[in-house]
Structure 1
Amino acid sequence: MAWLSVDHSWVITFGILGNVISFMVFLSPLPTFFRILQKKSTEEFKSEPYIIALFSAMLWLYYAFIKTNELPLIIINSIGCVIEIFYITIFLIFAARKARKRVIQTKSVEFMPFNLSLFLTLSGISWHFYGLLSNDLYVMLPNILGVSFGFAQLLLYIIYRGKEEVHKDRRVDKVGPEVDTDMTVEECISDKKQENYSSERVEQMV
């Protein structure tokens, strides 16, 4: 087949590109974990993606050690294991006690980080081409599935994001007159007394 005889430089290029994007994948949940640390709660965020990511990195690491000349896979998946263990540790510390509803049930993307879905898709594309150019079916084929799931997540995000914006607009339309939340308790009491006084004056005049 024609694609088997490719320049070795392309294999190196996609190996480096795959490492860079995979590293961005591992770092993309950082805003989520900053939020968890600030609120001291995992809220409706799920731990499953990080457990699966750790398991995946461990499997790729095992595969890379068995096969020769797979330094890019060894480097990035070693880093990935360390980062995912860190994420899971935070989840164990701040995990909520009650299970929450999923994104599809709530039709909300607030707890579905877009950056993670995007970089997972890009990572799958890069590693697919790395496997394709290095004639490695064990790297190429799983990433076809990964890219497919990545595009599905992005599609869900786009669909539910649009619905979420519509619901927000409707809620804003239903909200009544604005309330001044900056008023102090004393000001509220004073206003109430003024209203009562005015009512009494009107009754006396009548």
Structure 2
Amino acid sequence: MANLSFILGIIGNVISILLFASPIKTFCGMIKKKSTGDYKGEPYITTLLSTSLWTLYGIINPDGLLVMTVNGAGAILQLIYVILFLVYAPKDTKVKAAKLVGVVNVGVLGTVTAVTLFAVHKNTRLTFVGILCTALTIGMYASPLSAMVPNAVGLFLGSAQLILYVTYKNKPVSTNPSEAIEEEEEEEEEGGSAHPGRRGIEMNSSLVNV
């Protein structure tokens, strides 16, 4: 079983490295054009953070050789992508990307590494880094859902409006009091005296006026 797990781990590492290497063609195009075009640098910057943290996890894990090697290779590739992006990006984009690299890949990574090595107890380091890595990975995969949330709310509100329209579209709304009284009198004439008490009051008031 141990050998099987190791073999499956190696296969998984090979697949992961191929995924990390998939943007190579994109960056070859950037080098030829000497421009980043419409590509964004944020995915490579955040993936560099993720692979770096997973590499740290593999380093502090006694059984983390496979995790360390695959994510170490991924971190090296992502670092190359980030550097190439900074070289060929337009000036405004380059400045924003450089600031993000400073905050994410230097500030966050440095802080997590320092806290892990000097502030967290040795027995809980692995759990601490593992939770951070898992949360970051889930966040990266779930980030495209942010584009769906406003659309879901719009679908709900639009459906509510449609239901209200279908429910009340055939019911006229009278804003004129005199029209409402006339409609009520017509209904009484058609269906008889629905309010005999009120008719009596009206007759009495007419006699007093006479």
TM-score w.r.t. structure 2 length?
0.45
Which has the higher relative contact order, 1 or 2, with Cα contacts under 8 A spaced 6 or more apart?
Answer: 1
- TM-score, normalised via structure 1 length: 0.46
Larger Rg: 2
Greater per-residue helix proportion: 2
